Structure 1
Amino acid sequence: MIYEISYTALVFFFIFVGLVIGLSFYFGRKTRSSSSYYAAGGQIHWGVNGIAFAGDYLSAASFLGICGMIAVSGFDGFLYAIGFLGGWIVALFLIAEPFKRLGKYTFTDALNAKFNSRAITLSASVSTLIVSVFYLIPQMVGAGDLVMPLLGMPHWAGVLLVGAIVIVIVASAGMASTTYVQFLKGGLLIVLSLVLTFFILKNGLTLTPDFKGNSSHYTFMELTPQVEDDKVVAVPDWNVIAQQVIGDKTFVKLSQNGIERWFDWERGHDSSLLKEALTVTQQANGQTLYNGEPKENRRFYQVGHMSKIVVNGREVEQTGPLSPFEFLSTLQKSEIVRFLQVKFPDGADQVSLYYQEPTAGASFMLPGLKYKIGRDANLWSKLDFISLMLALFLGTAALPHILIRYYTVKTPRDARKSTILAIAAIGGFYILTLFMGLGSAVNGVLDLESSNMAAPLLARAFGAVLFSIISAVAFATVLGTVAGLIVASSGAIAHDFIDVYLKKNLSDDRKVKLGKIAAFVVGIFAILLGMAFKGINVSFLVGWAFAIAASANLPAILFLLFWKKTSETGIAASIIVGIVSSLIIILTSPTMWDKYGLDPESAIHQLENPALISFPLAVLTVYLVSLRCPRRSSNADIENSTG
């Protein structure tokens, strides 16, 4: 899409960035020890930590990704929110208090509390790095998407900007500044999402939303073709160029005044129509055309509307303000126009075509549009859905950047109270994502090239100020989460690997300096990955991080806490098996096959999410290896370690 710079948004953006950097330098003056750098000295109030938990967790995946997935795939997108929230139950009842008692700075500290094992130190620090990197990718992708409409900069520039600011945040003050950035943006994100939901309900539903990509509502062309022998042979005022059959769909390419466009051929009982589609053509010469024209001609529109609104059994043009329940029930009885994508070669060019698919509201509000678990399901689709839910439910309690937050509060009781507050804040926010996602689906604001922009573009439909504030807060959302991830990564490198594993016995000051250097290196790496994965939905990418965390970390944590016979060898082996099996499945998945330039259908398997296989493998490994190789050393029994 073409985005124009919003100067109001620029003002709010620089205010937020200035505030964030100011906080960093303020707390930086107070950061003198490794404890204050990696865990804020354990002095954060549980209330602040609870909202910071929410701010850390409500990342680009939650605000940008989930809203975008709901807008495109209906209730299936909301399943991510259910899985993300469900994982906190595991954290509350099984992890929060005992984990606080075990550690000092990092996830590795806690895992190695019973043992003095270099194998655990190495495997856990590597796991922390891998999970953090996989979580960093979607944050950086989301950052690039945000900067395009906010500052008018290209995607790569947005990724670079976020990386630079976050490196400043972490290098300045570590966990202290990160905590207050997360607290600030977590609270603001929830408040502004409430405001945006209010505008959605106040606006109600209409058949003719204003398509903000154009000066007024855009009506897609519908043409009547002349057909012979199941082929379009002529269309008034157009030249017929080609016909392409993909599955049960037929698309026709027409030209007029030298401009080529694709149409979806819809055949009825008595007649047929050619309905205009939106296309992105990657030409062999490197140029990209949007609906047959250069991007600057603005012929590629934001979309999302309803073809039928039903209230009390009759069709209406618009509803006026609705209550939350009226909004949901009206959508369920109505019909929403979705835009589905197909890709195919057109000679030497590659075409991405988006065609209209009227969808009953009842289908949109039920599972099945993205994850085939009922009708049209096959074995792979069912397994993939189960695997995704397993990863989301189990991954939360094993994310290193979430776990280290338990060390920022004073007591295990504070850790539990922080978790309860986080669950309340996160649960409330996820309810709001349902309305924001559905509002994006029907208000003509969807950028088909990036579903991640659904919520900010919806805010723009209600006014420049709301768009500016929400975009700036969304940017701060990315900053806070990325900062937390880089703190976890720098701790894994400087504290776990260099100080503990390599036995360098670093001074406190040296440990902090190495942590800052590690933050810089990880930040650069995250920037490069954010550029490489441009365009993929950020919630989908975060699912991979959750799967790796659930497989590599959670079995080790649970067995350490609740099985006396768990050995250091079993823990290290399970982490390695969880990491390796997850990565193998991810790197051979259909999505990665597409990234390699290969046909996704020809991938070794059709499983996008690895947890269904990798998590049981890791559980089996820690159990069998612990039996085969009993623990050799112990500082205390697990009962003493956990109180």
Structure 2
Amino acid sequence: MSRITTLTRLTAATGFAMVPGFAMAVGTLEGTVEKQATNWTAIGMFGFFVVMTLFITKWAAAKTKSAADFYTAGGGITGFQNGLAIAGDYMSAASFLGISAAVMMQGFDGLIYSIGFLVGWPILTFLMAERLRNLGKFTFADVAAFRFAQTPVRVFAAMSTLVVVAFYLIAQMVGAGQLIELLFGLDYFYAVIIVGILMMVYVLFGGMTATTWVQIIKACLLLGGATFMALMVMAHYGFSLESLFAESVQVKTALATADGKTPEEAAKAGIAIMGPGTFVKDPISAISFGMALMFGTAGLPHILMRFFTVPSAKEARKSVMWATVWIGYFYMLTFIIGFGAIVYVLTNPNLITHDAKGALALVGGNNMAAIHLAQAVGGNVFLGFISAVAFATILAVVAGLTLSGASAVSHDLYATVVKNGKADSASELRVSRITTICLGLVAVVLGLAFEKQNIAFMVSLAFAIAASANFPVLFMSLLWKGMTTRGAVIGGAIGLIVSVGLTVISPSVWEVTLGFEKGSAPFPYTSPALFSMTLAFVSIWLFSITDKSRRGDQDRDGYLAQEVRSETGIGAAEASAH
């Protein structure tokens, strides 16, 4: 039976009224939305997974004796394991929940996330993975500061890391809060607090070992669950993408008709999901957004940190190869899941509501599109499985993010800058754990502030900042002899400040989050990367070539030693041992 027919019959049978932008119950018109019945099957599976991962944390805590164990699992992870863990780290709530929601709402334009998030990996594979492993120890600042003055570069790197981590954390906390709110019927406020507490427990006691194994297990489960969802959707259409797309267009046309549009306007709105322009509306936004997603990957501190968990540069390359395979496969699935949500979720009036502005929305928030689809294709048991996996996805990513933020403070600031490289392992670990608690509290506050944002979009802002601050400094320090400490710090700081500033005055934050009038945002584009990243590169070049100081000469002279170490790995093993 056609989903359009199902939508029509449900509307007639249940007394749902088709009103502007959505199908909704008559009771909703009066401001009351019926809460879904408590799903004990889903809650049981959810609880089982949380308990299982806590046992992993307990096991890992017994193995975490030193700072090296805490930050990099002692460098004992294989390339294949690390590839799965990177995929687990990267396939975040934004990937699974946010991209599928974006495809459901905007169709073809949602694909920019999938492609954008993926194409950064060749850059990491061919330009950075081996060099990072040979030059670094715990954090990307070890690489960025290799031949430069330690204090200014590490202070910049730590600040940049914390800002990127904060923006990335927002998306994970919002996704987790909405998921628990939907499953347990808890208020969003308490849901976010619960996530914050669990996150702190994982990182405080398990460190990188626990985080790695939670990421590996979660990656396997997520790939399996997403494959099942995509297969169930495709099986309904005889594995014909054309049939799936055709019915998706019909659903969107029906919703537009219910919105009061003329048949011609409705048909145009329906077919619009098969072409670009519903999300990225102009070439500058498209280029800027694409740059953020592509180059931001190579500047994410929690991803870069994973290259220090393997024993050699060869294993680092193997890590990226496996990560690219799993991530590429997963992003193909999210596109099918997004279109599946159009035909399975948007045709179910029980799942449709509206937001404060009267726009189409799902029960539990638009980010829950994949969760609702899981119930539609697999019932309560599969809903429980996908909910547990989605939550594990969030916990694993949040743990990796928190770990990178904590290491930036304890290793880069405390051990290297404050203690001048003379901090003992125990005090460094103590600072790291205090930072973890602080980051947990910040994550809760930010999760509450950004409740209504699409989480894939929030992550894209973190990518824009990483592409503007971290990537130019790393890239130039690895490949350009003429770069100096002054160029690195001033250029990186300009990229960081401009990207954060333009993000705040962009429509996504200025209008959606801060509540200013629509059209009043001073910066009109979706992403600042085109402007802030270009400015960062130009600033690094300008302030380096005009640096005639003695320190600048030392920085340039140190490039040869860095190049030999980065290309051959000579000296890397000794440095990791200390």
Q: Which structure has the larger Rg? A: 1
Q: For 1:561 and 1:95, locate their aligned partners in 2 and report how far apart those are by CA, in whole Å.
A: 8
Match of 2:277 among 347, 368, 383: 368
Q: How does 1:177-256 map to 2 (within 5 A)?
A: 177-204=210-237
Deviations 1:595-626 (A, max 9, x none): 33321312212122110100000000111111
- What runs of 5+ residues in structure 2 fail to find an aligned partner? 1-32, 353-360, 568-578
Contact residue 336 and residue 442 of structure 1 kept, 8 A: no
Indicate the residue corresponding to 2:546 in structure 1: 628
SS of structure 2 residue aligned to 1:29? helix
Q: For 1:566 and 1:512, locate their aligned partners in 2 and report how far apart those are by CA, in whole Å.
A: 33
SS of structure 2 residue aligned to 1:601? coil
Indicate the residue corresponding to 2:463 in structure 1: 546
Contact residue 5 and residue 149 of structure 1 kept, 8 A: no
Deviations 1:478-535 (A, max 9, x none): 0000000000000011111111111263211111121111111101110110011001
Indicate the residue corresponding to 2:135 in structure 1: 102
Indicate the residue corresponding to 1:500 in structure 2: 416
Larger proportion of strand: 1
Q: Write the letter of the residue equivalent to 1:458.
A: L
Alignment of 1:47 with 2:77, yes or no, is no
Q: For 1:355 and 1:165, locate their aligned partners in 2 and report how far apart those are by CA, in whole Å.
A: 46
Deviations 1:400-441 (A, max 9, x none): 000000000010110000101000000000000011000101
Match of 1:387 among 288, 310, 320: 288
Q: For 1:186 and 1:358, locate their aligned partners in 2 and report how far apart those are by CA, in whole Å.
A: 40
Give the CA deviation at 1:325. Answer: 3.4
Give the CA deviation at 1:103. Answer: 0.6
Indicate the residue corresponding to 2:524 in structure 1: 606
Q: For 2:76 and 2:243, locate their aligned partners in 1 and report how far apart those are by CA, in whole Å.
A: 44
Q: How does 1:409-558 map to 2 (within 5 A)?
A: 409-445=310-346, 447=352, 448-449=361-362, 450-462=365-377, 463-503=379-419, 505-558=422-475
Indicate the residue corresponding to 2:571 in structure 1: none
Contact residue 6 and residue 149 of structure 1 kept, 8 A: no
Alignment of 1:168 with 2:201, yes or no, is yes
Deviations 1:12-38 (A, max 9, x none): 111110111111110101111100101
Indicate the residue corresponding to 2:477 in structure 1: 560
Q: For 2:441 and 2:485, locate their aligned partners in 1 and report how far apart those are by CA, in whole Å.
A: 33
Q: For 1:596 and 1:510, locate their aligned partners in 2 and report how far apart those are by CA, in whole Å.
A: 40
- What runs of 5+ residues in structure 1 fail to find an aligned partner? 205-321, 341-352, 373-380
Indicate the residue corresponding to 1:640 in structure 2: 564
CA distance 1:457–1:114, change in 2 (3 Å):
same
Q: For 1:408 and 1:371, locate their aligned partners in 2 and report how far apart those are by CA, in whole Å.
A: 37
SS of structure 1 residue aligned to 2:252? strand
Deviations 1:202-225 (A, max 9, x none): 333xxxxxxxxxxxxxxxxxxxxx
Contact residue 245 and residue 339 of structure 2 kept, 8 A: no
Q: Write the letter of the residue equivalent to 2:487.
A: G
Match of 2:537 among 614, 619, 628: 619
Give the CA deviation at 1:331. Answer: 4.4
Q: For 1:24 and 1:338, locate their aligned partners in 2 and report how far apart those are by CA, in whole Å.
A: 49
Contact residue 161 and residue 408 of structure 2 kept, 8 A: yes
Q: Write the letter of the residue equivalent to 2:554.
A: S
The number of equivalent residue pairs is 506
Give the CA deviation at 1:355. Answer: 7.0
Deviations 1:527-570 (A, max 9, x none): 11001100110011111000000000111111111111111111
The CA RMSD over aligned residues, in Å, is 1.9
Contact residue 251 and residue 343 of structure 2 kept, 8 A: no
Indicate the residue corresponding to 1:227 in structure 2: none
Indicate the residue corresponding to 2:356 in structure 1: none
Indicate the residue corresponding to 1:143 in structure 2: 176
Give the CA deviation at 1:476. Answer: 0.3
CA distance 1:324–1:50, change in 2 (3 Å):
farther
Q: For 1:332 and 1:157, locate their aligned partners in 2 and report how far apart those are by CA, in whole Å.
A: 36
Q: Write the letter of the residue equivalent to 1:457.
A: H
Contact residue 40 and residue 175 of structure 1 kept, 8 A: yes
Q: For 2:202 and 2:267, locate their aligned partners in 1 and report how far apart those are by CA, in whole Å.
A: 46
Indicate the residue corresponding to 1:36 in structure 2: 69
CA distance 1:329–1:167, change in 2 (3 Å):
closer
Contact residue 163 and residue 524 of structure 1 kept, 8 A: yes
User: What TM-score does the superposition give when structure 1 sets the normalisation length?
Assistant: 0.76
Moved more, 360-369 or 184-193: 360-369
Q: For 2:91 and 2:151, locate their aligned partners in 1 and report how far apart those are by CA, in whole Å.
A: 34
Q: Write the letter of the residue equivalent to 1:440.
A: A
Q: For 1:338 and 1:117, locate their aligned partners in 2 and report how far apart those are by CA, in whole Å.
A: 61
Q: For 1:640 and 1:419, locate their aligned partners in 2 and report how far apart those are by CA, in whole Å.
A: 22
Indicate the residue corresponding to 1:347 in structure 2: none
CA distance 1:172–1:454, change in 2 (3 Å):
same
SS of structure 1 residue aligned to 2:519? helix
SS of structure 1 residue aligned to 2:522? coil
Q: For 1:129 and 1:369, locate their aligned partners in 2 and report how far apart those are by CA, in whole Å.
A: 32
Q: For 2:162 and 2:150, locate their aligned partners in 1 and report how far apart those are by CA, in whole Å.
A: 19
Contact residue 581 and residue 614 of structure 1 kept, 8 A: yes
CA distance 1:440–1:510, change in 2 (3 Å):
same
Q: Percent identity?
A: 37
Match of 2:153 among 107, 116, 120: 120
Q: For 2:505 and 2:181, locate their aligned partners in 1 and report how far apart those are by CA, in whole Å.
A: 31
Moved more, 406-415 or 509-518: 509-518
Q: How does 1:268-417 map to 2 (within 5 A)?
A: 322-328=238-244, 330-331=246-247, 334=250, 336-337=252-253, 358-359=266-267, 362-372=271-281, 381-417=282-318
Alignment of 1:3 with 2:36, yes or no, is yes
Q: Write the letter of the residue equivalent to 1:473.
A: V
Q: For 1:365 and 1:29, locate their aligned partners in 2 and report how far apart those are by CA, in whole Å.
A: 52
Q: For 2:260 and 2:425, locate their aligned partners in 1 and report how far apart those are by CA, in whole Å.
A: 60
Give the CA deviation at 1:326. Answer: 4.2
Moved more, 172-181 or 325-334: 325-334
Q: For 1:43 and 1:324, locate their aligned partners in 2 and report how far apart those are by CA, in whole Å.
A: 44
Q: For 2:240 and 2:473, locate their aligned partners in 1 and report how far apart those are by CA, in whole Å.
A: 43
Q: For 1:332 and 1:438, locate their aligned partners in 2 and report how far apart those are by CA, in whole Å.
A: 7
Contact residue 397 and residue 403 of structure 1 kept, 8 A: yes
Q: For 2:333 and 2:187, locate their aligned partners in 1 and report how far apart those are by CA, in whole Å.
A: 29
CA distance 1:10–1:355, change in 2 (3 Å):
farther
Indicate the residue corresponding to 1:569 in structure 2: 486
Give the CA deviation at 1:339. Answer: 5.6
